[in-house]
Structure 1
Amino acid sequence: MKEAGLNGTKGKIITSTYLNFTDAKSLEKIKTFENIDMKIFMTDEQQIGFHTKAYIFEYDDFYKIFIGSSNITQSAMKSNVEWNVEVVLKRDDDFVKEVLEKYEALWDQSSKVDESFIQTYRALLNELKNKFDHHHLSIAENHKYVVPNAMQRRAVDNLDRLRKFGETKGLVIAATGTGKTYMSAFDVRNVKPKRLLFVVHREEVLRKAKETFETILINQPGSFGYLTGTKKDFNADYLFANIHTLSKHYLKFQPRDFDYIIYDEAHHVTSPIFQDVINYFDPEFTLGMTATPERSDGQNVFDLFDQNVALEVRLHEALEEELIIPFHYFGVTDIGSVDLSDIDVDDIAEVTKRLKVNERVDFIIENLEFYSHDNEKRKCVGFCVSRDHAAYMAEEFNKRGYTTAALDGNDSSLKRSEHINRLEDDHDPLSIIFTVDIFNEGIDIPSINTVLMLRPTNSPIVFIQQLGRGLRKHPDKEFLTVLDFIGNHNKTFLIALALRGNRYYDKDSLKVAIATDFANIPGNTHIQLDKISQERILAQIDAENFYSMKYLKQEYFEFKHLNNGKTPLYLMDYMKYDGSPDPIKFIEKEKTYLNFVAKVEKDEQLKLLLYHDKFERVLKDLSSMLPLKRVYEFIILRYLMNHQEISMEKAREEILKVVDDVATDSIYHAFEYLNHAFFDRVQRSNKEKLCELHEDTLIRTETFRTLLETSSEFNRYIEDVLDYGIFRYSHYFDRTDYGIPHFKLYEQYKMVDAAHLSNYRKIHSSFRGQGLLVNGNDYFLFVDLHKEATIKDSINYNDKFIDRQTFQWETPNSTKQSSERGENIIFNNKHDIRLHLFVRKYKEIEKNKSEPYIYIGKGDVVDYSGEQPIQVMLRLEHEVPSQLYVEFTEKV
């Protein structure tokens, strides 16, 4: 509406009071647009309902009319099942004339929306709301209807499976606000322990945790109590304890007093205050829950829970499963007088100085008022670059009539709680808290409906953490409004990495995401960058080489900075934050992650470690398999780190701890692979064999055993690669058994993966390049859409998507229709041939950097023509997701 007004376009809107569905705040907002006339159809006065949804757009020589079921709401426009039809007709068409006549007739019957009407209507809505709320409170809650969401069900199932395999520990990683406490209560209800200990780092969350458990365990026997500075219910069956108090009194209990112990915010358990408690108690099961499994004090939170990650749910999955609320993100180009182009954004003092501009404060307020917020009261957190910046923003906003405050990590818990309570209070004028130190866990305000990003984004991790502060579900909000003031610093494009949400990315996919307003974001989330920000980010992406050593070093050192300045020596360090860089790129650059770290850190000790030839070769071999597309080999090797041999039966048992099912032939194929059965002569001479296959048993080689016993550091780094491979596989592939071939739809694959994942029993290195490869009845079609990465217009139009479920493909030039291979292709269904389609847009995404293929699934030939080559039309088994289809077909 604003852009239409700037272009001189006017409009008319008719809404109604039907079912009191329209809200007063929306009417008030539309009234602010001078180019929009608005009337309201009073259903009580007309004695008829008004259920019309029609959108009419007038052009110079035609009309475009949409008629259907969509209201102007985020869910109707984005995620509901709605039916709408688009009609495009010339101006003099009879249908157009009839529609316009009906519209004008309704316009004449409708009333003007003025301030008096809005106030009366708002009062009516509030009265109805108060009646509803009162009625709702009078109904006793029926606890049997409190049921787990999708994430909670998966976590409880996976924890149950771990226990069946004899495991005594589990870790759940899930974004803030996704319901981890409820999940743990559902698991406790499932296990039914006699005594439970729930341990937290911050006392503020204890009360809510206890209430949650009392809700879920309503019919179970047992008393509930606290162990805090002020309350000590030592004999309670379900004890909720603050770690600071527990650490002083844990010796009052016996080590096996508790059957089940839960550590909330489990990333803290590596700290000394937790260690005495953890080492003292010996429960039947221990559960850790965290949003960020960060390492501290040189210890790994994954190790403390025996690497048993029952579930990992990050931001995009949480949005997809509606565990958190959607957000409306607006990227607004910052004012021209704030110039950050010539400074390092890590220079906090200089950035603060340049952001403290009165004109910028006015600009922020102007946008804050324009984009508004959900619900009546604004409850906003503004993220600043420093304490000085936060204090300045609060002072300037207060001068302009707002009630705001500044908070940072140095403020007392009491002060933080006081301000949070005020912000959450609908009747308190405090509407904005400006804050810094975003890692401070004290800032957790469920009812936040607005986030201001007032500092330059120099890390996807920080961006996601700031965003996450407002995504917790709350009855008073349907969505979070996010205003990001985008400056001209040289790392603006990192916003695109954070919003896209994929660990792997390339220039083209990022550019398409920006051009389509990040259409891949699930649910009702809306992202919009203004034109200047879009162009600025696109230009930076074009200029950047994401695989250059310069860029990789910047990524690495930014991550190290967020790691409290500690060198991230392990791949598992990169699993702790949503938005972490992908360490696979570091591996691809220097063959192993350790080599990369040794090089960029100029670490002579690490270099010395890598002089051990066998150790470096093993590290290279294992690293070359990352990221895993099949997890069996790493699970087997992980077991062999502590055992001399592994049988088929034992391998199955270990594999089933990670996946739901596995074929016997695939286990044996993994044994053969580890025995180097499918390597060519050059590979065998360059690779270190870790296992020997004797009948149905895989035995650890002397080399492997000696290597592990030579140095605890060798042991630790090999274990890290294996753990990372398994953990990352679990995150991307979950527990699903993909069968044979082991392909997941829309996952990335190299050609050699097809041999590995289809249990091909010949030399795998023959699977190179592009084209057609065959293993029995499985035909693998590897297709490049653009034949030259540098010339974007040179598309091979013979290999292309016709629509989201149809693909046109040309066979190799030598293929005749009458040949056995030709007949197998064109009559694939009849001959029981499975055609698997793999597609990539470009062969190279950067200079000398090949792009992987994406598995599109199986397809059947429905039409064919021509000879040498044969042109076939494939009907795909699955319709390609719209965003992926756009990526393949869109040029930016």
Structure 2
Amino acid sequence: MTWMDDQLRADLQNGFIDSSRPAGALGPEILTNRQGNTIFNEIKNELRTCTHFKMAVAFITPAVLVPIKSIMMDLAQKGVGGELLTGTYLQFNSPKVFAELMKIPNLKVRLTEEVGFHQKGYWFDHQDYETLIIGSANLTMDALLKNAEWCLKVSSKHQGAVVQQFAAEFGDQWQAAVQLNAAWLTAYQKGWQAPVLNSASQTSHSDQVMPNAMQKAACKRIEALRQAGEKRALVISATGTGKTYLAAFAVQSAKPNRVLVVAHREQLLLKARASFQKIIGGQDQDYGFFTSQQTPGTARYVFATVQTLARHLDQIGPADFDYVIIDEVHHAGAASYQKIINWLQPRFLLGLTATPDRTDDFNVYALFNYQLAYEIRLQEALSERMLCPFQFVGVSDYVWQGQTVSEKTPLKHLIQPERVDWIIKVADYYGHDGDVLHGLIFCSRTKEAQELAMLLTQKGYPAQALTGQDSAAKREQAVARLQAGELVYLITVDVFNEGIDIPCVNQVIMLRDTQSAIIFLQQLGRGLRKAPGKQFLTVIDFIGNYQHNYLIPQALTDDHSHQRSRALQTLRAEPTLGISTISFTRLAYERILASVEKAQLTGMSLLKSEFSQLKQRLGRTPLMADFQRAGILDESIFAEKFKTYPRFLQKMGETVNLNLQTEPVLQFLTEELANGKRQHELILLAMLTKQSTITVADYQTQLHQNGCWVDDATLASVKRVLTLEYYLTKGKIGSRIRYGNQPLIIMAGQQIQLHPQIQNYLRDAEFRLFWNDAIETGRLQAQKYDQKQPLTLNQRYTRMDAVKLLNNAQYMVPNGIGGYYFMGETGILFVTYHHSNTRAAIDFDNQFRSRTQLSFYSKTNRTLNSRDAEKLLNPNASLHLFVKNSDEQDQSQFVYLGLCQVMPGSAHEFLQKGTNKPIFGVELLLKHPVDQALYLAWQNEGAAHQFYQENS
């Protein structure tokens, strides 16, 4: 009997006989799209690790095939393929689906003619065993990501009855089915009619536009500001989220006498007028244009271009309009905008923009008195389905003579026929929604755009290059040709980053280094506007050896924290945004990974840029808490890189008077408390700042009111930390580590007092400002943590964090903690996870056997009779598990996975290879399953590196 037999036997015992028995990775499991889990992730993982697959599904949508194709491309390089059995039940599957399936070379497709074919089954061969996923989920984005679906996942040996039954059933239907080919598709296409969906949204009031939840919230905030007497307000709304509708709803609420809407292009004004009349209603004569050919007369709602208005301001009075709306207001630094804004004197001025942060030093926030009414971010808009979903694929750029495209690649190599052929091949493979391709290509150089347009046209893909030198009329003409299908691609450098509306765009190709997250999102946004019949946008990013590849995961998730761990998590987990997906082929993945690991995410130029933009937004010098509210620069950056926030401000060029006497206090607050991992100390200091002496009972009441756990051990720990007793150097009474000798509090009996010296420090206004800021920052950070218990699942902690939060009596340095540390019957286990598919590694390294079981090994030279084993095997021990991946660059941070226990009878002792020293191992059973995305990311990490080494 093999180890696989043992594993399956144990897993089946757990799944079907006794749930209290330990389970491994092969145990039966119900898959759902709940609590952060998705069926999509499970199927992706099975595909990536299998040696063969079979799928039988009734319904398929084109969108789901884009990320599937990314995996298929990698599998093809490994010689792995499979079969897909589907059909034409209810004619749900469009001809487009079958055309896209035919592009996948390592996928054989057959069509069953069986009436009522409605199956949903997935089979994956893993050499030693096979896995089945059978249930309700079709191969569609909604089914795999959002719908309430149930699927049963089971594993079996090849000779198991269940997989043999599946194989027999699949084989019978496969033999009876017809092969998908061009002739079959032609015949199907001629007789196919799109199914009519029974949807309430398609009945009665289909032409009535109602505000969505975000638009309602924005209008409510705008109206509140107006009622409060504010004269101006700014709304930041991602491209395609309906800024014009939002403005119309705001006007509908305000009921002004006359309204002026200002935009920079007549085409936008025409659409704005139609939107306003659709929302507000009224007669045609209520709406008028002020352009070079038209004057508005007495119209109540007037639409004007910036250019015309600036030239003819003498024709209107400053108070003619009591409500003025300016679109794309980030351009308001221009002389024409300034002339208009300085002339008009409305009761209320509303500015709309998708890109407020500028590089031209113009402060749009100051223009609106720093009244930011509302901000609709890209991720929120996607979740609310305000935008068209996108399927992003990061692929490898062309490799020429062993060299991949980089910033330094000569132009002649960028436009060589082989690279153009590669671009065409990849773009065709991943495809696009709909029958007609409407594509945008962003490249790095004007000459490259021009040459690519010529070469693509020669190869049957009519394309036109547009540059900054082209007139607005030429651009509009080119856009019209793209919309009409006369052009397949518009190719540009940065011309279409903003201010252009082409809803039909269904494919965006990026052929350049991502030097700015803002520009990346602007270019992505060109294709996110909804259009009739448009279901999704395909985004293909050709990733070369670019210096700024690290920006891609940040840009996709709009992450401004500058934390390497977050960028790595995005890269590994490939998160979904609503039903939008992110996928990377393995070679592209490794290129981005290398860039992330090399990147100076907290380099001074990046920090100064974030600081400058936030300062513009606030109209004052930001405090540390301001960064946390804005989701910019995680607090850990200030602690690790600068020790105190005043030192960060000095580096930003701000004038700060640092007091060397008080600086250790601010360093203590910043490094130890402002991370918010425990709120108890922060609550106490906030109370004592207002009232220098309080009672223990009052303090406990505040803890309860703030949802914090309270016990004697924690209260004692808080006292040791704030008196700095916790930081006493072992054996050296009176000397302390790092934070000097100034206690923050005095506790006597039932009284708690702010130390008189701290009270004296607080008389200084600047110290008080930074003291309060650190406390407020910590309170904001604390919202990420479950304050009802010492540690929060899936959050990151250092060894010192864990020891302190579990109420150790004394500060510990990492070397004193090691791989595990015991405080009485409380054990803290720190695991560096090395994933490998080899049996040898499973025998001698820390390995997850499933989301609830981890093989754990002791330090070297430990036997089952050692003190370490006695502590670990104590049945009363409370064991806390922390894990980090082996390639984490920040080796100090571990993810907390919760409590665990040693599986009875799993302890075993052996001699470590290479040293012949004793070591023992146990199986740990986790109380909570590891987060699905985290687990799959860790499991796939080893396979990704191995694949890269073999194919790079």
The bucket for the TM-score relative to the shorter chain is 0.5 to 0.7
Name the residue aligned to 1:178.
241
- Please give the residue correspondences for 1:208-247 in structure 2 after superposition, counting only pairs within 5 Å: 208-218=271-281, 225-226=287-288, 228-229=290-291, 230-232=294-296, 235-236=299-300, 238-246=301-309
- The total of aligned residue pairs comes to 809
Distance apart, 1:385 and its partner CA: 0.5
Structure 1 residues 861, 569: closer, same or farther in 2, change over 3 A?
same
Distance apart, 1:468 and its partner CA: 2.9
1:488 is paired with a residue whose SS is coil
- Candidates 468, 479, 484, aligned match of 1:420: 479
Cα distance in 1, alignment partners of residues 319 and 162 from structure 2: 82
Name the residue aligned to 2:714.
none
Cα distance in 1, alignment partners of residues 830 and 441 from structure 2: 46
- Candidates 501, 520, 526, aligned match of 1:444: 501
Structure 1 residues 889, 174: closer, same or farther in 2, change over 3 A?
farther
Distance apart, 1:355 and its partner CA: 1.9
**Superimposed CA distance per residue, residues 342-361 of structure 1 (whole angstroms, 9 cap, x where no aligned partner):** 98x3x7xx654542322211
Segment drifting more, 584-593 vs 854-863? 854-863
- Please give the residue correspondences for 1:548-627 in structure 2 after superposition, counting only pairs within 5 Å: 552-553=603-604, 555=606, 585=637, 588-591=640-643
- Candidates 8, 14, 38, aligned match of 2:85: 14
Name the residue aligned to 1:294.
358
- Residue 361 (structure 1) aligned with residue 395 (structure 2): no
- Please give the residue correspondences for 1:53-72 in structure 2 after superposition, counting only pairs within 5 Å: 53-56=120-123, 64-72=131-139
Structure 1 residues 298, 96: closer, same or farther in 2, change over 3 A?
closer
- Residue 391 (structure 1) aligned with residue 446 (structure 2): no
- Candidates 387, 399, 423, aligned match of 1:336: 399
- Residue 480 (structure 1) aligned with residue 537 (structure 2): yes
2:603 is paired with a residue whose SS is helix
- Candidates 894, 910, 933, aligned match of 1:883: 933
Which ranges of structure 1 fall in alignment gaps of 5 or more residues?
A: 638-644, 648-660, 667-672, 690-694, 709-713, 827-834
Cα distance in 1, alignment partners of residues 325 and 680 from structure 2: 30
Name the residue aligned to 2:589.
534
- Conservation of the 8 A alpha-carbon contact between 1:158 and 1:311: no
1:19 is paired with a residue whose SS is helix
Structure 1 residues 5, 884: closer, same or farther in 2, change over 3 A?
closer
- Conservation of the 8 A alpha-carbon contact between 2:457 and 2:463: yes
Structure 1 residues 888, 686: closer, same or farther in 2, change over 3 A?
farther
- Residue 372 (structure 1) aligned with residue 372 (structure 2): no
Cα distance in 2, alignment partners of residues 855 and 622 from structure 1: 23
Distance apart, 1:381 and its partner CA: 0.8
Name the residue aligned to 2:95.
24
**Superimposed CA distance per residue, residues 843-872 of structure 1 (whole angstroms, 9 cap, x where no aligned partner):** 9965xx774676779999999x99xxxx99
- Candidates 208, 222, 240, aligned match of 1:143: 208
Distance apart, 1:224 and its partner CA: 5.1
1:452 is paired with a residue whose SS is strand
Structure 1 residues 366, 118: closer, same or farther in 2, change over 3 A?
same
Structure 1 residues 253, 420: closer, same or farther in 2, change over 3 A?
same
Distance apart, 1:132 and its partner CA: 9.1
Cα distance in 1, alignment partners of residues 226 and 786 from structure 2: 24
- Conservation of the 8 A alpha-carbon contact between 1:181 and 1:209: yes
Cα distance in 1, alignment partners of residues 386 and 218 from structure 2: 14
**Superimposed CA distance per residue, residues 289-344 of structure 1 (whole angstroms, 9 cap, x where no aligned partner):** 534443643536268343546445244x444444433333333222222887898x
Cα distance in 1, alignment partners of residues 527 and 355 from structure 2: 14
- Please give the residue correspondences for 1:758-773 in structure 2 after superposition, counting only pairs within 5 Å: none
- Residue 253 (structure 1) aligned with residue 319 (structure 2): yes
Cα distance in 1, alignment partners of residues 691 and 308 from structure 2: 46
Cα distance in 2, alignment partners of residues 338 and 251 from structure 1: 67
Name the residue aligned to 2:863.
none
Name the residue aligned to 1:830.
none
Cα distance in 1, alignment partners of residues 610 and 383 from structure 2: 27
Structure 1 residues 860, 105: closer, same or farther in 2, change over 3 A?
closer
**Superimposed CA distance per residue, residues 19-55 of structure 1 (whole angstroms, 9 cap, x where no aligned partner):** 1111112223334556655443346xxxx32212334
Cα distance in 2, alignment partners of residues 376 and 206 from structure 1: 30
- Conservation of the 8 A alpha-carbon contact between 2:262 and 2:327: yes
Distance apart, 1:481 and its partner CA: 1.7
- RMSD over aligned Cα atoms: 6.9
Cα distance in 1, alignment partners of residues 226 and 89 from structure 2: 55
**Superimposed CA distance per residue, residues 582-619 of structure 1 (whole angstroms, 9 cap, x where no aligned partner):** 696377424467866876xxx9x76x776898999999
- Conservation of the 8 A alpha-carbon contact between 1:408 and 1:435: yes
Distance apart, 1:275 and its partner CA: 7.7
Q: What amino acid sits opposite 1:88 in the alignment? A: S
**Superimposed CA distance per residue, residues 707-763 of structure 1 (whole angstroms, 9 cap, x where no aligned partner):** 78xxxxx99xx89x9999999998x899x99887899875667899999999x9xx9
Name the residue aligned to 2:440.
381
**Superimposed CA distance per residue, residues 555-606 of structure 1 (whole angstroms, 9 cap, x where no aligned partner):** 468989999xxxx997899989x9987696377424467866876xxx9x76
1:382 is paired with a residue whose SS is strand
Cα distance in 1, alignment partners of residues 333 and 774 from structure 2: 19
The percent identity for this pair of structures is 26
1:476 is paired with a residue whose SS is coil
Which ranges of structure 2 fall in alignment gaps of 5 or more residues?
A: 1-71, 615-619, 693-704, 711-717, 726-734, 745-752, 835-839, 858-865, 908-921, 943-952
Q: What amino acid sits opposite 2:637 in the alignment? A: K
Cα distance in 2, alignment partners of residues 38 and 414 from structure 1: 48
Structure 1 residues 477, 688: closer, same or farther in 2, change over 3 A?
farther
Q: What amino acid sits opposite 2:275 in the alignment? A: T
Distance apart, 1:386 and its partner CA: 1.7
Structure 1 residues 809, 335: closer, same or farther in 2, change over 3 A?
closer
1:143 is paired with a residue whose SS is coil
Cα distance in 1, alignment partners of residues 109 and 254 from structure 2: 60
Q: What amino acid sits opposite 1:552 in the alignment? A: G
Cα distance in 1, alignment partners of residues 327 and 772 from structure 2: 27
TM-score (normalizing by structure 2): 0.63
- Conservation of the 8 A alpha-carbon contact between 2:396 and 2:588: yes
- Conservation of the 8 A alpha-carbon contact between 1:325 and 1:471: yes
**Superimposed CA distance per residue, residues 480-499 of structure 1 (whole angstroms, 9 cap, x where no aligned partner):** 22222222344444434444
- Conservation of the 8 A alpha-carbon contact between 2:290 and 2:302: no
1:434 is paired with a residue whose SS is strand
Distance apart, 1:396 and its partner CA: 1.1
2:156 is paired with a residue whose SS is strand
Cα distance in 1, alignment partners of residues 126 and 821 from structure 2: 50
- Conservation of the 8 A alpha-carbon contact between 1:379 and 1:432: yes
Distance apart, 1:367 and its partner CA: 1.3
Distance apart, 1:378 and its partner CA: 1.0
Name the residue aligned to 1:495.
552
Cα distance in 2, alignment partners of residues 223 and 744 from structure 1: 61
- Candidates 577, 580, 590, aligned match of 1:525: 580
Name the residue aligned to 2:264.
202
Q: What amino acid sits opposite 1:429 in the alignment? A: E
Q: What amino acid sits opposite 2:450 in the alignment? A: A
